[in-house]
Structure 1
Amino acid sequence: MTRRTFRRNSFWLALSLVLMLVSSIGASLVQTVGGSVAVEDMRWEAASGREMSALLFKPAAVSAEDPRPAIVVSHGWWNNREMQDANYVELARRGYVVLSIDMYGHGNSDPLPAGQEAVGGTGMYDAVKLIADLPYVDPSRIGVTGHSNGARAANFSVALDNQAETPLIASVLLVDNDPVYVDDAGAFTNIYGSRDTGVIQAQYDEFFFRSYDAEGNALTPPREYLSTPNAQSFLHFGQDPSEATDVREAGQVYTQDVDGADAMRVVWSLPQTHPWSTISSTAVGHLVDFFDESLGAPNPLAAGDQNWQLKEVLTTFGLIGFGIFLVAFTRALLATRAFAGVRVSEPIAAVANTRRGLVWFWGGLVVTAVFSILSYVLLSQAEWAGAIAFGSVNLIAPGVPWFIGIWAAINGVAGLVIMIVSYLLFGRRSGQDLRAVGVLPGWRRFGLGVALALTTTVAAFGIVFVLDYFFKTDFRFWVIAVKAFNPEMIGYSLIVLPLFLVYFIANSVAINSFNRFTLRGREWVNTALLALFNSLGPIVLVVAQYTTFFITGETIDGFGGIFSIWLFPVVVILAVAAVISRKIYRETNNPYIAGFLNAAIVTIISVTNSLVMTY
């Protein structure tokens, strides 16, 4: 590494640290409302006997003499408590006491026993019991809200609250999940009683808000939800809609006397997808309006007065800083005695490709992209793969990382086959030297490379843990999150790591040892193309899914919505992984360093943002 390169790398390393620090400080200032809201990372043994994890937001003005309304908020399946940041930031700004939970099996809460999802309301009702006992909370004004399966947890909690000697829940807001419409006999019912209850409904919801015939076939798409008997019964407080005298509309608050108390019902129908509701300012606006109407905001603000977006921008900066750190810190370690043996004095020059070489290059890219599409679709339709993904098969580690890891490994093996064929039919005849391009680096350099990747991984997550300890924030944008985690997640990660190693090592070798050259005289054009094609398969699937959804009102037949949602972070991760791989290779001529590093980081991200079930 030349002195100039060292100075340049020192700048990027310093920038990455500054981005992560500024991200954490700034995000903390937003979620604490400039220091006027205390944030506590809570762990406690709940009434169900399991340990729960949550973030408690306590405005400075609250006291036993001035108790405030409180709201328990929950993420959806395969997520964690920080996924509700838009809601808890805005609710805390308005003076509510807020508890953002990790449902059982998620984040830092205890694993979820299979078949026991309703226990403790999947954790939500256990959290309600805790918050009701806080001396600065008004127990008569407690609300619950959750997104997707967090809304299902709210439904579970209402059922438990109905059985309680002293009910605790005063209002319920369900986001992107159906209310309970009928009783065990199939008759329309009102399980919510006199509680204020609202629904935020995505018109392009991948899972909910359909009506079905006796055979289970969908009769209406979610964008027609308001016309269904289910929606009309909910807005008529459980009345059979055939007996109703009016048709009720979205966005209108309806009130009725129920058991001697005024209750309200409302449905907001929004032209967006299921996962978008977690990052929708419109949805957040309806949420704060609902609880202001139901519980009374101690510090009322207009629905459009929102600044959670600033936290999202800041945590995105942290995510970018984390990615830069992976490259810059790895490069910095090359200047140390321990890892000097990995460093090369000058990177191998990237030369212009030949016409025949370009045919192999473009042909390989197209084949791998098509294969990634077909293999993912076929895997999504395989019953055994679905059983793994959705947790009905016990593989110890979380199911979704297994599913994505299997897909990754299949593509890694396919990539290896393509590289072997390319070498035998083209590379060897063209004089390709496997040692010179790093495919055969020697055992010492290989081992040092693995140690270097491990050191960078530990250092990167060490920073995440330190900043989480002081500022209670992570690095995230929407569905991509790098966060602190419980120690057992390391064991889960080691179980599925081999699957990701197969892919990312093969991918790094392909990108650097087989496909590195200049296009139009510039290497960065080649890098950009490889980053694009790394993600092209997932991009095509996502675009095809949502183009079909928006045109027809339904997702592609046989390709469930959850499978396209899982690809959202994959699109970004695969593109970034290609760039990280190339940057590290240029300084080491060793494709295995980035292969191990990318595999380790992606595995940890996947495992710590999923659902752990026990059997």
Structure 2
Amino acid sequence: MGANGAQLSGLLYIPRGVSAEKPAPGILAVHGYINSRETHADFAIEFARRGYVVLNMDQAGHGFSDGPAFANGFGGPAGLAYLRSLDLVDKDNIGLEGHSMGGWTILNAAAAYPDGYKAMVLEGSSTGSGFAPEGTPTSPRNLAVVFSKYDEFSGLMWEVPRALDVAQSTKLQKVFGATGPVEPGRVYGDLAAGTARVLYTPNTTHPGDHLSRDAIGNAVSWFGQTLEGGTPLPVSNQIWPWKEFGTTLGWFGFVLVVLGSGGLLLQTRSLGGLNRVPSQPQGAAGPGWWLGALVMLAVPVLTYFPFFRLGAEWLKPSSLWPQSITNQIMVWALLNTVISLVLYLLWRATARRQLAAAPAVDAPAQPDGVPAARGSTWSEIGKSALVALGAVGTGYLSLLLTSYFFNVDYRFWFVGLKPMTTGQFRMFLAYLIPFTLYALMAATVLHRQMRRSARGSMLTNALLLAGGFLLFLLVQYGTLFSTGQLFTAGEPLNVIVAIQFLPILVILAIFMTYFARRTDRVYTGAFVSSLFLTWYIVAGQATQFAF
């Protein structure tokens, strides 16, 4: 239980053989902004394998912890107090480790309990920055700074334009008590006095710390030097990639479960009427198709930053829509839906004029590929919604069982699909309609305007939905790795958020294409996509509004 009655959540890793009679060193490990404890599990696994009791905590307003985010020292003081309350933890040997905003979480914990820890690791984080205490040569105690060479937040964290130049940061030099550039790998200060400092610079990015043997190994190495009572293992002895491999397989399994269960529902007597032989496409062709493809690639990316800024200005977190970044994504999605609708209606009008000017033929088809003699009924739309609920619901059940038996979710890196809390389910219902409108429009364009074959191509549709963000990220990170700065250096958070768009839009294309093949309509695929998309976003974002 945290401050002000806020319930905080975490996973406690207890090495075999540890007890009140045989206590072990403890580590409070905390993830960064809009992540969760599962994102940080790779660190926790390696700490626990080395004999540390690890509290891998969800920050306030993240994961399964009550909101709001940013409150009560991000939950850090309560987390450290809980770890210190355990009789199986050696209270004289406690370490603090946090990534990004998780670093500010543990700094607040250290400020609340200045004698309650022995060493600290800041991963991709910093002292100060307006959310955490400033650092000095004596505080925090025995500090390791792990700041990667291509960290996107160098300006925010250490006030240098490039992470490659972090050693020259005057802010960092002040914390280290250095009079010139800090030498990576060199230990400054005195371990016994608690004033030791060291800088590590792994060859990765800010989110890449979670998949870096070096970044994880640096933290392991520092606690091995500063905490007593652990189980020595070589730094290179790391097994977390197996966990990443397994939870990534979970992602593939989830997609197959949704497709398979939806396909089975379409074979039932009550819902089988939705099955149809795919009609021949009557959408755009030739240069018109390529122009449409170019628009689909360009518009979502070109509007990404400006629409996100509008979302931040227009939709502040509220009791209806309480998640800041989800609000920004929603505004981007709705405005792109409006743009797509206008362009789609213009295309239909042009296609109708061309059809009217062409020689008459028997039983003409509509220019969107739907036969003129038959349209969708409300009954069919309702049945499509039932199929979607059944398919996504089966996928949700598979995740609940996986979480219950294995304490993991479906995840690769920070792209994770999590169960929802009761509060998040209420948010899910509030955000569902806007994201359903987006999914309906995207599915309509893919199936009616851009479909080039009777069954449609999953690969083509995936490229149409996600290809723009693939190019966007190639430009951003190509520039980062070649110059040391992102192409849009002032938008590090939104660039990292965009990484998730790539796999999620591919999954939406798979859902939309598969169910369009089965039903020759857009509704089932759109409803499956909207349920999945809303769930994914809401369960994975931070909640800023306090209920």
TM-score (norm 1): 0.81
The correspondence for 1:332, drawn from 258, 264, 284, is 264
Deviation at 1:70, TM superposition (A): 0.6
2:321 alignment partner, SS class: coil
What aligned pairs does 1:101-500 form with structure 2 within 5 A after superposition?
101-112=57-68, 117=70, 119=72, 121-162=73-114, 167-180=115-128, 189-190=136-137, 192=139, 195-208=141-154, 220-236=161-177, 241=178, 244=179, 247-256=181-190, 261-296=193-228, 298-344=230-276, 346-349=277-280, 357-380=285-308, 382=309, 384-387=310-313, 396-426=321-351, 429-430=354-355, 431-433=364-366, 435-436=370-371, 440-500=375-435
Contact 2:154/2:161 (8 A) holds in 1: no
Q: Is the CA contact (8 Å cut-off) linking 2:118 and 2:194 kept in structure 1? A: no
* Aligned with residue 492 of structure 2, among 553, 561, 573: 561
SS of 2:447's equivalent? helix
Q: Is residue 2:521 matched to residue 1:593? A: no
CA contact (8 A) 1:413 1:502 kept: no
Instruction: Classify the secondary structure of the residue corresponding to 2:230.
Output: coil
Cα offsets for 1:353-375 (capped at 9, x unmatched): 8xx72222111111222211221
The answer to whether the Cα contact below 8 Å between 2:466 and 2:505 also exists between their aligned partners in 1 is yes
Q: Which runs of 5+ in 2 are unaligned?
A: 356-363
Do the aligned residues in 2 keep the contact of 1:475 with 1:481 (CA within 8 Å)? yes
Percent of aligned pairs sharing the same letter: 26
Q: 2:19 maps to what in 1?
A: 63
Cα pair 1:388 1:399 within 8 Å, conserved: no
Q: Is the 8 A contact 2:136 2:176 kept in 1?
A: no
Give, in angstroms, the shift of residue 451 of structure 1.
1.6
Look up the match of 1:535.
Answer: 466
Alpha-carbon offset, residue 262 of structure 1: 4.9
Q: Distance in 1 between matches of 2:489 and 2:410?
A: 34
Quote how far apart the aligned CAs of 1:416 are.
Answer: 2.0
> CA 1:377–1:277 in 2, change beyond 3 Å: closer, same or farther?
same
Once the two structures are TM-superposed, the CA of residue 185 in structure 1 deviates from its matched residue by 13
Q: Output one character per residue of 1:256-289: Cα deviation in whole Å (capped at 9) or x when no partner.
A: 27xx735421110123221111221110111111
1:91 and 2:91 equivalent? no
Contact 2:244 2:412 (C-alpha < 8 Å) held by counterparts:
yes
Does the residue aligned with 1:459 lie in a helix, a strand or coil?
A: helix
Letter in 1 for 2:406: F
Q: Are the aligned partners of 2:424 and 2:539 in contact in 1 as well (CA < 8 Å)? A: yes
Query: Contact conserved, 1:70 with 1:137, CA < 8 A, in 2?
Result: yes
Three-state SS of the structure 1 residue aligned to 2:196 is: strand
Q: Which amino acid aligns with 2:237?
A: D
Other structure's SS at 2:238 match: coil
CA shift for structure 1 position 330 = 0.5
Q: CA deviation at 1:175?
A: 0.5
Letter in 1 for 2:385: V
Q: Is the Cα contact below 8 Å between 1:397 and 1:495 reproduced in 2?
A: no
Counterpart-to-counterpart distance in 1, 2:539 and 2:449 = 33
Give the secondary structure class of the aligned counterpart of 1:256.
Answer: coil
- Greater percentage in strand: 1
The worse-fitting range, judged by mean Cα deviation, of 46-55 and 267-276 is 46-55
- Return closer, same or farther for 1:387/1:94 CA change in 2, 3 Å cut-off: farther
1:554 deviation in Å? 2.7
SS in 2 for 1:174: strand
Amino acid paired to 1:93: R
Spell out, residue by residue over 1:325-369, the C-alpha distance to the aligned partner (whole angstroms, 9 max, x if none): 11111011112223122222x333569x8xx72222111111222
Letter matched to residue 153 of structure 1: T
Contact 2:138 2:194 in 1 (8 A): no
Partners of 1:122 and 1:602 in 2: CA distance:
27
How many angstroms does 1:293 deviate by? Answer: 0.9
Residue 558 of structure 1 and its aligned partner are, at CA, apart by 7.1
Work out whether residues 161 and 485 of structure 2, in 8 Å CA contact, stay in contact via their aligned partners in 1. no
Q: 1:567 and 1:254, CA in 2 relative to 1: closer, same or farther beyond 3 A?
A: same
Letter in structure 2 aligned against 1:192: S
Measured after TM superposition, the shift of residue 467 of structure 1 is 2.0
Would you say the 8 A contact 1:319–1:475 is kept in 2?
yes
Task: Measure how far apart 1:56 and its partner are.
Answer: 0.7
- Alpha carbons of 1:449 and 1:176: their partners in 2 closer, same or farther (altered >3 Å)? same
RMSD of equivalent CA atoms: 2.7
Closer/same/farther in 2, CA of residues 207 and 420 from structure 1, 3 Å limit: same
Change over 3 Å in CA distance of 1:249–1:604 after alignment to 2:
same
Paired letter, 1:277: D
Q: Deviation string for 1:548-598 (max 9, x for gaps)?
A: 333333334575111111111111111221122111111111211110110
Residue 536 (structure 1) shift: 2.0
* Amino acid aligned to 1:189: T
Kindly provide the amino acid, as one letter, of the partner of residue 154 in structure 2: F
Contact 1:172 1:197 in 2 (8 A): yes
Change (3 A) 1:269 1:297: farther
Residue number in structure 2 paired with 1:574: 505
* Cα displacement string for residues 286-316 of structure 1 (whole angstroms, at most 9, x for unaligned residues): 1111111111362211111111000100100
Shift of 1:211: 8.5
Change (3 A) 1:96 1:449: same
Unaligned runs of 5+ in 1: 1-44, 213-217
Contact 1:180 1:191 in 2 (8 A): no
How far apart, CA to CA, are the structure 2 residues paired with 1:102 and 1:54? 6
Counterpart secondary structure, 2:98: strand
Q: For residues 470 and 565 of structure 1, what CA distance do their matches in structure 2 show?
A: 31
How far the C-alpha of 1:231 sits from its partner, in A, is 2.1
1:450 Cα offset (Å): 1.2
Query: AA paired with 2:294?
Result: V
Q: Aligned residues, how many?
A: 536
Displacement of 1:183 in angstroms is 13
The Cα of 1:514 is off from its aligned counterpart by 2.3
* Deviation at residue 46 of structure 1 after TM alignment: 2.8
